[in-house]
């Protein structure tokens, strides 16, 4: 699965509500996964909906 690709180092999981409508047109409950190289969002109602944001200038230390 791409979601668990070898280059990802899992850091944290957050449950959030989209309020600013940047990702969707309505407020949705999302699960946000922080990896060493990206943020991934999954809509709780539609688990196949995945939005990935690369962390290009990240200062995250994955030690």
Interval 11-49: pLDDT, tens: 888 888 777 666 656 677 788 888 888 877 777 665 445
**Euclidean distance between CA atoms 7 and 13, whole angstroms:** 17
pLDDT at 62: 44
pLDDT at 50: 54
* pLDDT of 10 strictly over 60: yes
Residue 62's contacts (CB-CB under 8 Å, 6 or more residues apart) are: 9, 11, 36
Q: Which helix (H) or strand (E) holds 23?
A: none
Q: What's the pTM?
A: 0.48
Question: What does residue 3 show for φ and ψ, rounded to 5 degrees?
Answer: -60, -35
* pLDDT of 56 strictly over 80: no
pLDDT at 41: 75
């Amino acid at each position: 699965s791409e979601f668990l690709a070898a280059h990802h180092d899992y850091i944290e999981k957050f449950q959030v509500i989209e309020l600013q409508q940047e990702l969707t047109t309505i407020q949705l409950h999302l699960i946000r996964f922080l990896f060493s190289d990206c943020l991934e969002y999954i809509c709780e109602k539609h688990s196949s909906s995945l939005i990935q944001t690369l962390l290009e200038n990240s200062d995250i230390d994955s030690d």
